Amino acid sequence: MEDLQKQFSELQAKFVEQSERLRDYTGLLEQAREDQRQALAMAKAVIEQKATAPATVFIQRDRRCPDFSGSTSPGEVSVAEWIASMKAYFQVCKVPEEDQVEVLKQHLKGEAKFTVKLKLESGAKSADEIFLALKEVYGDKTPIGVRLREFYDRRQEAARV
């Protein structure tokens, strides 16, 4: 009987020890759950804040485009430069295709405006038609081989060394 009481006491001690360990684990588990709840609440708050606050995007609408007159005088832009700047303007300012022709006409002056009127008597239907007409008249017609030869034949003068 004493043997049974001793075993019973040992089992009771083990039970108490395991009960304490279980309480410790339960406390740690509750703490972990609380930490997860807080992290989830913070994540939801951040997501909601990003969803309600629109991203700020600045599109410069007052960008100045150069006018093209067809003149070859110093300070005037070439047809290639003007076409590149107008295409960039259309892309940056998101100008619809149906409005591009009118915008181009506003930036044509003098001889270039008259040239487009004559070349496209029926009226321009797209910006590409205007660009093509201007390239035909004002574009560089010198073959690339000639330009390369001019480049490689060029010599530096002694006074400019």
pLDDT tier, 123 (very low <50, low <70, confident <90, very high otherwise): confident
Give residues with Cβ within 8 angstroms of 130, minimum separation 6: 101, 104, 105, 116, 120, 124
Beta bridge partners of 108: 68
Range 54-81 average pLDDT: 75
Indicate the domain borders of the chain: 1-57, 79-160
Residue 13 has pLDDT above 90, yes or no: yes
- As a whole-number percent, the residues of the chain with pLDDT over 70 amount to 91
Query: CA separation (Å) from 5 to 2, 8, 9, 16, 17?
Result: 5, 5, 6, 16, 18
In eight-state DSSP terms, residue 54 is P
Q: What is the mean pLDDT of the chain?
A: 84
